[in-house]
């Protein structure tokens, strides 16, 4: 897993080449809505892209994480199917439903059933390299989502410039990033991580939580500000010395969000002494998001080391899938 995290900049670089060279079957048209359907490591890219395009895309954009699609999906919908393995049963079922409803379907996968159906139905299918854990392939899937949106003229291609800049900066700062990540991991070790971010970066917070779950083999939860200020904040009442608050921050977060975070810190400090603030680096949303993703990925694998666990192993998920196959 460490090698996969280390190679994240190279993955982004390869993802740009894949997206740039793909030749679409479907031509441009107007859509009433865009749906990304996918789960876990395959679906989190959709959540991050949703945050990224929220102030750019005028067409409604949602992320679907289940077996079925919303009732409004129709021939005027763009459905992007994301399944790294190509065999995720929920995503395969959603894909079949999208085809039945005659939506425009584009797939992002490494193969499997999704690729087979796409070939049979002559549907766009962007293939990414196979053989890795889905959570380690975020760069491949997320970048392809951007190329799909760009192809249909839903967004521009400025993301290419931002990602190229990210790759350069990420490589230059690699040693420092790992050093920061180890410091954070040691502070979190032995505690329950509670991650908070602005609502505009909630996808990144979810990604961090999922990496702690899968790589570090530990429970964690996340909340977004301002929403958590209207409910979860009241739960900060008892001693929480066994918990570590991690604030994912950006210097250009909305002013009132930053004010809320400072006030929230005063509340947290009454119950736990472990409050960690991680500020992003970069001059664009994608630069900031990828910086936080890369740093927190390292935190998750370093925590696995501290817990003396294999970051790659996900036996309980394998057990679940095997059990489901018998039903």
Q: Which of 144, 178, 182 is nearest to 45 (CA)?
A: 144
Active-site annotation holds for 321 = yes
236 in helix, strand or coil?
coil
Query: How many Cβ atoms sit within 10 Å of the Cβ of residue 310?
Result: 12
Active-site annotation holds for 214 = yes
Q: Looking at 90, 214, 287, 288, which residue is catalytic?
A: 214
d(CA 6, CA 81): 27
Query: And the tokens for 232?
Result: 């979860």
Active-site annotation holds for 222 = no
Cα distances (angstroms) measured from residue 277 to each of 105, 183, 194, 251: 40, 12, 12, 12
Cα distances (angstroms) measured from residue 17 to each of 11, 105, 160, 258: 10, 22, 10, 37
Q: Looking at 56, 164, 251, 321, which residue is catalytic?
A: 321
Query: And the tokens for 327?
Result: 């039903």
d(CA 101, CA 2): 42
Q: Looking at 230, 266, 315, 326, which residue is catalytic?
A: 230
d(CA 244, CA 236): 13
Q: Which long-range contacts (CB under 8 A, 24 or more apart) does 93-102 make?
A: 93/67, 93/68, 94/37, 94/64, 94/66, 94/67, 94/68, 94/69, 95/37, 97/68, 97/69, 97/73, 98/35, 98/37, 98/69, 98/73, 99/123, 101/69, 101/73, 101/74, 101/75, 101/77, 102/74, 102/75
**Residues involved in catalysis:** 214, 230, 321
């Amino acid at each position: 897993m460490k090698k996969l995290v280390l190679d994240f900049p190279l993955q982004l670089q390869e993802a740009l080449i894949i997206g740039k060279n793909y030749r679409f079957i479907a031509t441009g048209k107007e859509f009433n809505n865009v749906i990304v359907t996918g789960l876990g490591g395959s679906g989190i890219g959709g959540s991050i892209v949703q945050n990224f395009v929220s102030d750019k895309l005028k067409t409604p954009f949602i992320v679907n994480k289940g077996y079925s699609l919303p009732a409004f999906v129709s021939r005027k919908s763009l459905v992007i199917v994301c399944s790294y393995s190509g065999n995720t049963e929920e995503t395969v079922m959603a894909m079949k439903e999208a085809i039945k409803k005659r939506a425009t379907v584009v797939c992002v996968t490494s193969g499997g059933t999704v690729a087979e159906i796409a070939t049979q139905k002559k549907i766009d299918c962007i293939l990414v390299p196979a053989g890795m854990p889905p959570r380690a392939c975020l760069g491949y899937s997320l970048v392809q989502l951007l190329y799909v949106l760009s192809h249909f003229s839903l967004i521009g291609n400025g993301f290419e410039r931002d990602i190229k800049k990210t790759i350069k900066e990420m490589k230059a700062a690699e040693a420092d990033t790992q050093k920061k990540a180890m410091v954070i991991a040691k502070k979190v070790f032995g505690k329950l991580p509670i991650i908070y971010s602005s609502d505009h970066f909630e996808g990144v917070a979810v990604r961090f939580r999922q990496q702690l779950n899968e790589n570090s083999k530990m429970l964690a939860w996340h909340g977004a500000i301002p929403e958590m200020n209207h409910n979860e904040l009241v739960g900060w009442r008892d001693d929480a010395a066994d918990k570590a608050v991690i604030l994912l921050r950006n210097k250009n977060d909305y002013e009132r969000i930053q004010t809320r975070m400072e006030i929230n810190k005063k509340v947290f400090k009454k119950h736990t002494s472990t409050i960690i603030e991680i500020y992003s680096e970069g001059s664009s949303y994608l630069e900031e998001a990828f910086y936080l993703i890369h740093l927190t990925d390292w935190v998750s694998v370093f925590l696995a080391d501290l817990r003396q666990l294999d970051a790659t192993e996900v036996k309980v998920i394998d057990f679940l899938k095997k059990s489901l196959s018998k039903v």
